[in-house]
Each structure stands twice: as C-alpha cells, then as structure tokens.
Homo-oligomer: A and B are copies of this chain.
Amino acid sequence: MNIYDVSQHAGVSIATVSRVLNGNPNVSDKTRAKVHAVMDELGYTPNVFARGLGLNTMKTIGIMCSDSSDPYLANAIYFLEQKLRSHGYDSILCCTGPSLENKRTYFDLLLSKRVDAIILAGSKFVEMKDEDNSYLIQAARELPIMLVNGFLPAPGIYSTLCNDHDAMYDAAARLLDSGRSNILYLYTSYSYSGVNKLAGYKDALVSHGITVRKDLIQQCVKNPASAKETIEQLADSGLVFDAVMTSDDSLAVGAVKYAHSRHIAIPKELAVIGYNNSILSDCTDPEISSVDTKIKELCITTVDTLMQVFNGDNVPEKTVIAADFIQKQTTNF
C-alpha cells in the first residue's frame, strides 16, 4: 500500500497525490477530495516521514557505528553505503565508540547536519535502561531512525534484525541432540542482540530438560587471547564442559586455541560453535561451525525499508530475518 496505489486508484498522477499529502494549495478542491476518498477507501495512512515527491532533502543519511574495526560492523558499513549510494544518497559516517555520552554527542551532531535519516549499525545502540534510549525515541518524531540488528519499539524507529534467539537455540539444540550436555557459553556484552542469544541458549537447555547453570555462562573480552585465557582458568578451577558456544567468532577462535594448547580433540572431546560466520571462523584448523547472521541482507533490507518510509508506504516497524547454521569441522561429529 503506497502512494502509487493511491495515484492509480484515484486516476491522478503521483505528483498530485504528493501535493495533496504535503498540503500544497496548487490542487483543485475536487481532486483533493477524490484523493482523500481513495486514501480512506484503501485504508492508506502516510507515515510522518512521507516525502511524496520534490520535498527538500539533503540526500544524506547519517550512519552511526560503535566500532568500524569490528569485521561484522565493517561489513555492515560497506553494504549500507553501497545500497544508499545506489539510491542516490550520501553517507556521513560516525564511529562513536561504546560510551553513551559519545553516542548522544554524535547523534546530535548528525541531527544538526539535517541528515534525512540516521542508521544505527549494530545492537550496541539499544541501551538496557529505558531512559538511556529516550534521545532516540524523541528524535524519531522528527526523522526516521533505522536500527540494524537492534530493536526499540517506538513510532518512527524501524528495526531490521536477525533472529538471534532462534539461531542460538538451533545451534545449542544441535549440540544437545548429539549428546553434549555441559555447554560452556561465552559472551561479550549484554546488548540487545547479546541478551537474545543468551536466551536462545537457555531456552534450548530447558526444552531438552537440562538445568541452566550460571557457572557455564561466562563473559569475556572480544578477542581470541582473552577467550582462551578465560577458558583455561575455568578448566583449571575444575569446570567440566564438552562444548563451547560463543556470541562471536573471535571467542570461538580462543576456544579452539585452548583445545590445541591442552591437546583436547575437536570435536570428539570438545565441540565449538562461533557466531557471525566471519573470516575468523575459517582461519583455524579445524574450521569453526558458525551462524551466518545475514549482515548483507540486514543492511539491504534496512535501506529498502528506509526508501519505503520516505515513499510514504506503510512499513512494519520490525523486520526479522532468519540466520543460517553453517556446519564446519568443529561440530562434525
């Protein structure tokens, strides 16, 4: 349902519908009444960001990213920029780092540049405390805010995300179904996506009648060396586990390196599953089974959704894309 449907049903040009939507006086009362009647008949409500045609625009989109040196986010920026460019939009990039204060500063800076929309790449932009998200909710009254792999329910905020819960549930279920029951879960952060991944792991355990144990859920810093060290310390303290699942491939690399250093056979004695299916998961021997979170598809859908928003279409505030499990050697039982 969009401006084109209205134009067709009313038998007027798109430019005319656009003029009606924008309150342009240059339309006869009769035509205006007809367009409104068709919109009522079709149940068409233009969203607040409908541009119709010919409104002022800088044709520039702000992209915020917490860390472009992360391979996952670097790919996201690449795909977003390419897709926006194909629609004739420039991208102004801001690398914010993790602090809320910097995120807010850069956000305000982009607003002051009068960008047409702001895309937040990565789930790190949705904060745990509601009040910390209020600057986004407030701004979304003025311009569209697009979340790539985050979700914040508010008018004017459009989220495109991977179903991290189901992806992690599926991965854990594969381990459980093949007889592993002591699955160590390593994660890096309690972001929106991080919370969903952990919930998927827990739900899979519960559905298989296995108790969720706090000592098997451990946080560590996002690099192979930290993950390896964390696992070594856990093993040395007596923790027993027959599989490692991780919220990011870099941690899974650390798990493989731990197994090498202790002469533990993969996957016979220890199965390992990564997340994001990045190049890192293909660097180790054995190569690491991982979850393809469809970053390219997420980015393309985000930009497509934004163009529909500009177009006045009724678009869902949340689009969910399913992940794929990529079977490699670390779960080749």
Interfacial residues, chain A to chain B (CB-CB below 8 A): 60, 63, 67-69, 71, 74-75, 77-78, 81-82, 85, 90-95, 106, 113, 223-225, 250, 253, 256-257, 260-261, 279-280, 282-285
Could you tell me the distance in whole angstroms from the C-beta of A78 to the nearest C-beta in chain B? Answer: 4
What chain B residues lie within 8 Å of A81 (beta carbons)? 68, 93-95
For the complex, give the distance between the alpha carbons of A284 and B288 in Å: 12
Could you tell me the distance in whole angstroms from the C-beta of A251 to the nearest C-beta in chain B? Answer: 12
For the complex, give the distance between the alpha carbons of A113 and B77 in Å: 20
Could you tell me the distance in whole angstroms from the C-beta of A207 to the nearest C-beta in chain B? Answer: 33
Residue from B63, B91, B95, B279 within 8 A of A250 (CB atoms): B279
For the complex, give the distance between the alpha carbons of A261 and B329 in Å: 14
Q: Is the CB of B282 within 8 A of A279?
A: no
For the complex, give the distance between the alpha carbons of A68 and B282 in Å: 19
Q: Is the CB of B257 within 8 A of A223?
A: no
Q: Is the CB of A92 within 8 A of B90?
A: yes
For the complex, give the distance between the alpha carbons of A8 and B138 in Å: 49
Q: A68-B81, A74-B74 are in contact. List 5 more A-B contacts (CB 8 A).
A: A67-B78, A92-B93, A257-B285, A280-B280, A283-B283
Q: Is the CB of A74 within 8 A of B69?
A: yes
Q: Name the CB-closest residue of B to A113.
A: B90
Could you tell me the distance in whole angstroms from the C-beta of A86 to the nearest C-beta in chain B? Answer: 12
For the complex, give the distance between the alpha carbons of A102 and B12 in Å: 39
Residue contacts A-B, CB under 8 angstroms, 11 given? A68-B81, A71-B74, A74-B77, A77-B77, A81-B93, A91-B92, A92-B93, A261-B285, A280-B283, A284-B284, A284-B285
Could you tell me the distance in whole angstroms from the C-beta of A103 to the nearest C-beta in chain B? Answer: 13
Could you tell me the distance in whole angstroms from the C-beta of A60 to the nearest C-beta in chain B? Answer: 8
Could you tell me the distance in whole angstroms from the C-beta of A321 to the nearest C-beta in chain B? Answer: 19
Could you tell me the distance in whole angstroms from the C-beta of A263 to the nearest C-beta in chain B? Answer: 12
What chain B residues lie within 8 Å of A94 (beta carbons)? 81, 85
Could you tell me the distance in whole angstroms from the C-beta of A309 to the nearest C-beta in chain B? Answer: 22
What chain B residues lie within 8 Å of A261 (beta carbons)? 285
Q: Is the CB of A77 within 8 A of B71?
A: no
Residue from B69, B75, B106 within 8 A of A78 (CB atoms): B69
For the complex, give the distance between the alpha carbons of A223 and B278 in Å: 12
Q: Is the CB of B93 within 8 A of A93?
A: yes
Chain A to chain B: the 9 pairs with minimum beta-carbon distance, closest first: A74-B74, A283-B283, A68-B78, A93-B93, A260-B285, A69-B78, A69-B75, A253-B283, A81-B95
Could you tell me the distance in whole angstroms from the C-beta of A274 to the nearest C-beta in chain B? Answer: 11
Could you tell me the distance in whole angstroms from the C-beta of A58 to the nearest C-beta in chain B? Answer: 10
What chain B residues lie within 8 Å of A78 (beta carbons)? 67-69, 95
What chain B residues lie within 8 Å of A223 (beta carbons)? 279, 282
